[in-house]
């Protein structure tokens, strides 16, 4: 390609389709694109974007950045979620070069492509959910593809050396007698390539039945922490949507809950972003007041970064 000419409006689905065509001409396993936009997807229908996304899933990953404030967070989040990338705001175009370089450096550091979380369960067991919870919340439950008898794969994208992620998996099993033990799930991290599938790591999940109330009602610290982080992300997104719709009562309640959760979990970055949207009266109880005037960039930054989590404190 010797040059580019700007033409037409914003049509993200068409751009994705072109990226897919370009990638098809190269044998590389690691395929990464960066979507930059300063506008809304106004020149194609939501159905056209959805169709383009379905064709691109599994072909390449895509990090999305909105420049300025004249774009929709939900649109870019849909793309980044489907294509296992990230979404963020670049409020000032002057910061674009540094952000672009950081994305490229991270992408160039990936070494293993097409990594999946493989979950095997015994007969009569049901996988209720599979979620990535660190470094960001991402629900993978609906993205399962069968990979063998009683097993399914959940896509996680490409990984770099030394990279660490946390997942929360829920499995429902049939009742059994006190003292009995069973293998409830086998979790594997697998990498696919033209030469086959390699198991990178594996762990077993056991279920033990007890009549000890203290044991049966105790919540694992890591589970409690990440459940709170997922609730934090949901509270922010629901609160901002309510604020947009003019429902100040719901917005105040949701964003106040978010302030309390951010404080309890030590998520200082999110707490700072929340402080630009609400005035905090009492951080412990989550008592807040909505700010009368909020910069669009601050509100969009809170929205795009709402799913970023902090790990459990040692």
Instruction: Give the range of the structural domain holding residue 69, as residue numbers without chain letter.
Output: 12-108
* pTM of the predicted model as reported, rounded to 2 decimal places: 0.91
Q: Is residue 310 part of a domain?
A: no
Residues 139 and 55 in one domain: no
Q: Among 65, 91, 108, where does a domain finish?
A: 108
Q: Quick check: is 7 in a domain?
A: no
Report pLDDT for 2: 61
CATH of residue 284's domain is: 1.20.120.1690
- Do residue 171 and residue 118 come from a single domain? yes
pLDDT tens, position by position, for the chain (314 residues)? 566 676 778 999 999 999 999 999 988 889 999 999 999 999 999 999 999 999 999 999 999 999 999 999 999 999 999 999 999 999 999 999 999 999 999 999 999 999 999 999 999 999 999 999 999 999 999 999 999 999 999 999 999 998 999 999 999 999 999 999 999 999 999 998 888 899 999 999 999 999 999 988 889 999 999 999 999 999 999 999 999 999 999 999 999 999 999 999 999 999 999 999 999 999 999 999 999 999 999 999 999 999 999 998 76
* In a domain? residue 187: yes
What is the 3-state secondary structure of the chain?
CCCCCCCCCCCHHHHHHHHHHHHHCCCCCCCEEEEEECCCCCCCCHHHHHHHHHHHCCCCEEEEEEECCCCCHHHHHHHHHHCCCCEEEECCHHHHHHHHHHHHHHHHCCCEEEEEEEEECCCCCEEEEEEEEECECEECHHHCEEEECCEEEEEEEEECCCCCCEEEEEEECCCCCCCCEEEEEEEEEEEEECCEEEEEEEEEEEEECCCCHHHHHCCCHHHHHHHHHHHHHHHHHHHHHHHHCCCHHHHHHHHHHHHHHHHHHCCHHHHHHHCCCEEEEECCCCEEEECCCCCHHHHHHHHHCCCECCCCCC
Domain termination residue (choose one: 57, 86, 108): 108
Question: Domain check: are 144 and 167 in the same one?
Answer: yes
Residues 85 and 167 in one domain: no
Number of domains in the chain: 3
Do both 248 and 169 map to the same domain? no
133 is a domain residue: yes
């Amino acid at each position: 390609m010797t040059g580019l000419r700007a033409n037409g409006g914003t049509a993200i689905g068409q751009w994705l389709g072109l990226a897919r065509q370009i990638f098809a001409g190269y044998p590389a396993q690691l395929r990464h694109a960066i979507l930059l936009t300063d506008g809304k997807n106004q020149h194609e229908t939501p159905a056209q974007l959805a169709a383009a996304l379905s064709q691109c899933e599994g072909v390449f990953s895509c990090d999305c950045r909105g420049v300025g404030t004249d774009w929709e967070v939900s649109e870019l989040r849909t793309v980044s979620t489907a294509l296992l990338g990230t979404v963020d705001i670049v409020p000032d175009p002057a910061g674009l070069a540094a952000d672009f370089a950081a994305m490229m450096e991270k992408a160039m550091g990936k070494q293993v492509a097409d990594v999946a979380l493989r979950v095997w369960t015994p007969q009569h067991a049901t996988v209720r959910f599979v979620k990535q919870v660190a470094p960001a919340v991402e629900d993978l439950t609906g993205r399962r593809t069968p990979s063998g008898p009683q097993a399914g794969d959940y896509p996680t994208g490409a990984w770099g050396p030394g990279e660490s992620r946390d997942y929360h998996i829920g499995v429902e099993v049939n009742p059994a007698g006190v003292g009995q033990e069973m293998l409830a799930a086998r979790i594997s991290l697998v990498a696919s390539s033209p030469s086959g599938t390699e198991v990178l790591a594996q762990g077993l999940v056991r279920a033990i039945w007890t009549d000890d109330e203290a044991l049966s009602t105790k919540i694992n610290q890591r589970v409690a922490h990440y459940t709170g982080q997922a609730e934090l992300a949901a509270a922010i997104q629901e609160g901002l949507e309510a604020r947009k719709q003019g429902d100040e009562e719901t917005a105040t309640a949701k964003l106040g809950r978010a302030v309390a959760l951010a404080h309890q979990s030590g998520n200082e970055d999110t707490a700072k972003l929340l402080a630009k949207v609400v005035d905090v009266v009492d951080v412990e109880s989550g008592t807040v007041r909505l700010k009368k005037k909020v910069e669009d960039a601050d509100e969009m930054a809170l929205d795009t970064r709402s799913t970023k989590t902090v790990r459990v404190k040692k």
